[in-house]
Amino acid sequence: MQSTGSTDIKEIKEYKENQGIPIHGVIMSSYAPQENPFTPTFGEVPAHMAGRAVLVNDLRRALSSAKRHPNLTTAITGARGSGKTALLSFAAEEAERRGWIAVRTVALPGMLDDVLISTRRKAAHLLSPKAARVTGVEVGQMPGVEWEREDEPTNWRNEMTGLLEQLDETETGLLITVDEVQPKLPEMVQLAAIYQIFVTEGRKVALLMAGLPHNMLALETDKTVSFLRRAQKWQLGRIEDYEVEDAMRRTIEESDRFIAPSALKKAAAAANGFPFMMQLVGFRMWDQHPGQREITDADADAGILLANKEMREGIVRATYEALSPVDKAFLNAMLPDDRLSTMSDIAQRMGKTHSYATQYKNRLLGHGIIEEAPGGVRFQLPLMREYIADQQL
């Protein structure tokens, strides 16, 4: 039997049965160990983006459309580890494949300068050598940028307009992605406001932003950039187990290995619909016996233990420690319920009114820690329930 880039599980099982080889735990001499295909790292695009097919297809259509597409202005929200940054990276890669210039930035002081410099660098083959330099940022009611240039006064908007005019000559679009949106950052507001002007001028531009739900909501309520309320919005929630299973199986098979069906179900359940956890579980179970072609139940069990520890010590603990005492009290009040908590029960356990508890429900929804479900709320962030329960011991 020859090794191929994509292994069919049924074919392997039939081969092993014909040779009298046990179905699980065999080392096949023809197998050359492959590099781990899972990507539990910040912002790296996974081999298969489970549960995001609709968003991915919308972005592809938007970047390929001859006319202006609504998805060229998109806001992506979700909890930490829900795949926001990976989607921004995917969009940038897709844009570049279609001939766009894609620049990536994070909502931090200096982001305007970063966008300008990155655009000049990536589009250098399409632009004239004119340049300007940011010398300072004004903070106040009218945030702005100070510039230094020999020939004439300028600012960020005019510099970007000049670049866009040159890109228009070759019908080249500009995609700007902004991660970790911060609504109180003056440069974030200025970028959004000027982007709106570029759109009304008919420029071929796109803006994709990602951030925690409460930060994105706060930016949209800023009167200066109220147009963002009409942007396309995607809340990244839990991925169905069957989609997680399919993405993990395909990732494994395309790297010339396969996974026992029972191990796959364990791994998908442990991921709990969370993209980062899916990659982390896959990464750890792959590394248990990379020289064996099959990933067994034992590999899955060991990988899940390691992934759970890393998830708890990384995302879960940091998220929990950043919460207020009342936020924590709300989550503690959810513990007695197996899956779903009603707001009346939570308020009663907190000793507060329903309206008071609702304020903190909205805060926790904004952080992506809980999610609404028919009849109440439930934990969204994997292992948060278990972590909080352990704090009570």
Closest CA to 344 of 332, 335, 357: 357
User: How far is the C-alpha of 311 from the C-alpha of 316, rounded, in Å?
Assistant: 6
pLDDT at 305: 96
Helix-helix angle 275-286:241-253, to 10 degrees: 40
User: How far is the C-alpha of 386 from the C-alpha of 321, rounded, in Å?
Assistant: 15
pLDDT winner (highest mean) among 40-44, 50-54, 195-199, 362-366: 195-199
The average pLDDT across 100-106 equals: 96
User: How far is the C-alpha of 320 from the C-alpha of 114, rounded, in Å?
Assistant: 32
User: How far is the C-alpha of 234 from the C-alpha of 381, rounded, in Å?
Assistant: 17
Please write the tens of the pLDDT for every residue from 223-281: 888 888 888 999 888 899 999 999 999 999 999 999 999 999 999 999 998 899 999 99
Using 50, 70 and 90 to split pLDDT, how confident is the model at 26?
very low
The average pLDDT across 92-106 equals: 95
pLDDT at 392: 79
Using 50, 70 and 90 to split pLDDT, how confident is the model at 150?
low
The average pLDDT across 174-203 equals: 94
Q: What single string gives the DSSP state of each residue in 52-106?
A: -HHHHHHHHHHHH-SS--GGGEEEEEE-TTSSHHHHHHHHHHHHHHTT-EEEEEE
Asked if pLDDT for residue 325 goes beyond 90, the answer is yes
* Mean pLDDT, the chain, integer: 86
pLDDT at 169: 93
Residue 273 in 3-state DSSP? coil
Q: Is 237 exposed, middle or buried (0-12, 13-18, 19+ CB in 10 A)?
A: middle
pLDDT at 360: 95
Q: Architecture of 53-236 per CATH?
A: 3-Layer(aba) Sandwich (3.40)
Using 50, 70 and 90 to split pLDDT, how confident is the model at 88?
very high
pLDDT at 30: 63
Q: In terms of pLDDT, which residue wins out, 111 or 220?
A: 111
Please write the tens of the pLDDT for every residue from 120-142: 999 999 987 654 455 555 544 44
What is the percentage of the chain residues whose pLDDT exceeds 90?
62
User: How far is the C-alpha of 307 from the C-alpha of 267, rounded, in Å?
Assistant: 10
Are residues 170 and 100 in contact, defined by beta-carbon separation less than 8 angstroms? no
pLDDT at 139: 45
User: How far is the C-alpha of 172 from the C-alpha of 9, rounded, in Å?
Assistant: 44
Using 50, 70 and 90 to split pLDDT, how confident is the model at 339?
confident
Domain ranges of the chain: 9-43+239-318, 53-236, 323-391
User: How far is the C-alpha of 157 from the C-alpha of 163, rounded, in Å?
Assistant: 10
**Which CATH class, in words, describes the domain spanning 323-391?**
mainly alpha
Please write the tens of the pLDDT for every residue from 56-83: 999 999 999 888 999 999 999 987 778 8
Which tokens is 46 given?
């996974």
177, β-bridge pairs: 104, 208
Are residues 354 and 344 in contact, defined by beta-carbon separation less than 8 angstroms? yes
Q: Read off the amino acid at residue 277.
A: M
Closest CA to 131 of 147, 111, 110: 147
Q: Which of 139-148, 182-191, 335-344, 370-379 comes out lowest in average pLDDT?
A: 139-148
Phi, psi of 38 (to 5 degrees): -85, 150
pTM, to two decimals: 0.78
pLDDT at 49: 87
Q: What single string gives the DSSP state of each residue in 209-259?
A: EEE-HHHHHHHHT-GGGGGGGGSEEEEE-PPPHHHHHHHHHHHHHTTT-EE
User: How far is the C-alpha of 287 from the C-alpha of 306, rounded, in Å?
Assistant: 11
